[in-house]
Structure formats: structure tokens, C-alpha cells
Amino acid sequence: MNQYVTGTVIKELRERKKMTQLQLAEKLGVSDKSVSKWETGKGFPDITLLEPIAEAFGVSVTELISGNTIHNANVSANMLRSKFYVCPVCGNVIHSMGEAEIHCHGIRLAPLEAEQTDEHHMIFIERVEDEYYVRIDHCMTKEHHISFVAAASSDDMQLVKLYPEGSAEARFKIRGVRRIFFYCKRDGLFSIDPVKGIDDKESGYETIRERRELEKSAEMLFGKTD
């Protein structure tokens, strides 16, 4: 697209807002004939009008220019609906309370889709007083490691950044945590309900010995992952 904003986008956003050309024109301080010319491709709005147009439609200037508007149903800003974005170039981790237009190093990032944990990404959760101790059975090499672990409640997000050669573990205040997320550099984003964590004491694993025995059994069944 060579133009910085098309008439098609303006018309689509105007109709979505159920505004007439006259109503939009009055908001912008132009004539309705000007709006009509924009929408029919016979003219383009002055660059100084981009921000007022975006504001009138309730979108960002980036969305207006690209024509890709973000439909965010997460109006209540529920942290459990959070989106994570990871830059493949620098490893930058970005969190939003819903979908967003995210760019890093010139790359448009797509929100990560969380998968259920599996035998190659085993997570062990232990409740210690008012905290969850989270440990992931995973290698931590530069090429293949857990990049971050996060704990989400309805109104809070706790995130711990991890690094190669370090430990794949974290501690989180329980305070309503309902979802644990972690990101594997090679295989993507995973999540689990903490009360379903393999060694959550409230789920029936009463001792550290039982947890270690369970881990040893898992290693015998699936082997150590690289």
C-alpha cells in the first residue's frame, strides 16, 4: 500500500462506528464532501488529520495506516486473557492485557498460543507457605532453554526472566494465581493450572520424597530431554 491511509479503511471504520460522513466531518473540522472524496479515492486527508481521524475511530495511528485494526474483547483487562510476544531477534518479552500491534526489530510479532504441558516440558509445582515454587524439568543451554515463567491471576501478573546456564525455577506469591505460563525458546509457550501441577501438595503429594520418586519415574518413562 503506497498511500498512508486508504478511503476503504476510513469508510470501514466510520461505518463500524455508525457515523455518517457529516458527523465525521464535523469531528474533524472539514466538509462532508472532503470525507466523501477520501472514501471514493478522489483525495486523501492531510497528514495533520491522521491523529484526529484515529482518535475519532478509537484506533491507533498505526492501525489506521496499516488497515489492521485490533479487535480486543478484553475490555475488563483480565490478566488471565494476557498475551505474550517474544522477539526472535533479541528475545525481548512483551506482555499485554489483550491483543496489540507489537513490533520489535522491524518484525511484527504474533501473540503466542499457549499449549498444555507435555512429557518434554514437565513442570513441578510445590506450595510453600504463601508461595508457589515452580521448577521445570528442562535443559538451559543457549540454544534451548526456558526464557521466562509467569503466574497470572485475574488482576495481577508476576513474571520471572530466566537465562541460559541458570536454573529453570521461580517463586510466585500465590495471591489468586490461576495459571502458570512458561516459554521454551525452541517449542513455544506452555501453560498449566497450578492446582494440577504434578507435585502440588494440595493434590495429594505430601512429601518431598514422593515428588522425587515421581520425577525419577518420569525420567525412566520418557528419558531426559535435551
**214 falls within a domain:** yes
Total number of domains in the chain: 3
Q: Note whether 173 and 216 are same-domain residues.
A: yes
Q: Note whether 141 and 217 are same-domain residues.
A: yes
3-state secondary structure the chain: CCCCCCHHHHHHHHHHCCCCHHHHHHHHCCCHHHHHHHHCCCCCCCHHHHHHHHHHHCCCHHHHHHCCCCCCCCCCCCHHHCEEEECCCCCCEEEECCCCCEEECCEEECCCCCEECCCCCEEEEEEECCEEEEEEECCCCCCCCEEEEEEECCCCEEEEECCCCCCCEEEEECCCCCEEEEEECCCEEEEECHHHCCCCHHHCCCCHHHHHHHHHHHHHHHCCCC
Question: Which of 109, 130, 162 is the C-terminal boundary of a domain?
Answer: 109
Burial code (b: 16+ CB inside 10 Å, e: under 16) for 158-179 equals bbeebeeeeebebebeeeebeb
Average of per-residue pLDDT values in the chain: 82
- How far apart (Å, rounded) are the C-alpha atoms in residues 219 and 226? 12
Question: Rounded to a whole number, what is the largest CA-CA distance in the chain?
Answer: 78
Q: Note whether 95 and 177 are same-domain residues.
A: no
pLDDT, mean of residues 147-175: 94
- Higher per-residue confidence, 70 vs 134: 134
Given this model, what pLDDT does residue 102 score?
87
What CATH number corresponds to the domain at position 53?
1.10.260.40
Q: Note whether 96 and 167 are same-domain residues.
A: no
Share of the chain above pLDDT 70, in %: 80
**2 falls within a domain:** no
**71 falls within a domain:** no
Q: Note whether 147 and 214 are same-domain residues.
A: yes
Q: pLDDT band for position 69 (50/70/90)? A: low
Given this model, what pLDDT does residue 179 score?
93
Q: Note whether 100 and 162 are same-domain residues.
A: no
Given this model, what pLDDT does residue 101 score?
81
What CATH number corresponds to the domain at position 173?
2.60.40.730
- How far apart (Å, rounded) are the C-alpha atoms in residues 204 and 48? 64
Please choose, from the candidates 128, 175, 129, 170, the residue with its C-alpha nearest in 3D space to the C-alpha of residue 152.
Answer: 175
pLDDT, mean of residues 97-115: 85
**74 falls within a domain:** no
**73 falls within a domain:** no
pLDDT, mean of residues 212-221: 64
How many CB atoms are located within 10 Å of the residue 190 CB? Answer: 22
Q: pLDDT band for position 100 (50/70/90)? A: confident
Please choose, from the candidates 45, 55, 72, 44, the residue with its C-alpha nearest in 3D space to the C-alpha of residue 13.
Answer: 55
Q: Note whether 42 and 57 are same-domain residues.
A: yes
Is the pLDDT at 152 greater than 90? The verdict is yes
Name 46's bridge partners.
none
Q: Note whether 85 and 138 are same-domain residues.
A: no
**30 falls within a domain:** yes
Given this model, what pLDDT does residue 70 score?
55
**17 falls within a domain:** yes
Question: Which of 109, 131, 162 is the C-terminal boundary of a domain?
Answer: 109
Share of the chain above pLDDT 90, in %: 42
- Domain that residue 187 falls in: 115-222
Q: pLDDT band for position 224 (50/70/90)? A: low
- How far apart (Å, rounded) are the C-alpha atoms in residues 98 and 78? 8
Q: Note whether 129 and 213 are same-domain residues.
A: yes
pLDDT, mean of residues 56-72: 73
pLDDT, mean of residues 106-126: 88
**48 falls within a domain:** yes
Given this model, what pLDDT does residue 26 score?
94
